[in-house]
Amino acid sequence: MQAIVETLFDVVYLIGVITIGVLIIWGSKGKRQFKLFGWMAVVLGAGDSFHLVPRALALCTTGLENYTVSLGLGKWITSVTMTIFYVLLYYVWRQRYQIKGQSALTAAVYVLAGVRIALCMMPQNQWLSTEAPLSWGIYRNIPFALLGLLVIVLFYRSAKVRGDRAFRWMWLTIVLSFGFYIPVVLWADTIPMIGMLMIPKTCAYVWTVLIGYFAMKKECN
């Protein structure tokens, strides 16, 4: 039952989020903020597919223990693409609110993203092993969480100051995604059921993408 339900959920999610991303790109009518948003959604779905597709295959065939390498490689790729996702979201913020300058802020985004990706590349992560150390899971997620916190603050402040109703909950979707993700990083290996939090985490990202889609439909038509 888990295999069927989880696989169906993942298929609907991947097809849905990539399709919405493509629709946003096509419907952007030259507005750079929405073109960026569309590519951000495509990166999200494409990156997640590297982990979710092997997981679905594992659940529907011989089990997760026989797909250790492909699952680890998928998690590795997804970790990098999620970092790119937040860099693109930062640029959506700059475009939407017409932010000029602030080179120090942009540098901070790139430093956090760069450190996160560099940590993900370290062999100590043991991505392809069943004994991946928790400590490195924490290390690589520290700059990622800081990057997410920065984006949360930026969208919260700008949407509130500008009275931007379309993006007023963008900050909350990111808060929820991290709120569901962090317990998985910390405790999923010892308490497998905590891994179920990845489902509401995924739903939070779908909400993020839908915010951009509905804003595009309203502002580009």
What are the tens digits of pLDDT across the range 46-61?
A: 999 999 999 888 888 8
3-state helix, strand, coil in the chain (%, to 5): 85, 0, 15
Torsion of CA 151, 156, 157, 158, to 10 degrees: 80
What's the average model confidence in pLDDT over 163-168? Answer: 96
Q: Number of structural domains, the chain? A: 1
Mean pLDDT of the chain: 93
Question: Whole domain around residue 136: which residue ranges?
Answer: 2-219
Q: Which of 19-23, 60-64, 86-90, 126-130 has the lowest mean pLDDT?
A: 60-64
Percent of the chain with pLDDT over 70: 99
* pLDDT at res. 30: 84
Distances (CA, A) of 64 to 52, 56, 127: 12, 9, 14
Q: Which of 63-67, 75-79, 99-103, 206-210 has the lowest mean pLDDT?
A: 63-67
* pLDDT at res. 66: 83
Is 74's pLDDT higher than 90?
yes
**Whole-angstrom distance, CA of residue 67 vs CA of residue 63:** 7
Is 132's pLDDT higher than 90?
no
Q: What is the pTM of this model?
A: 0.94
Is 44's pLDDT higher than 80?
yes
- Yes or no: say if 90 and 109 are a contact pair by the CB < 8 Å rule: yes
* pLDDT at res. 131: 83
* pLDDT at res. 60: 85
* pLDDT at res. 59: 83
* pLDDT at res. 23: 96
What's the average model confidence in pLDDT over 162-185? Answer: 95
Check which CATH number belongs to the domain holding 98 and give it: 1.20.1070
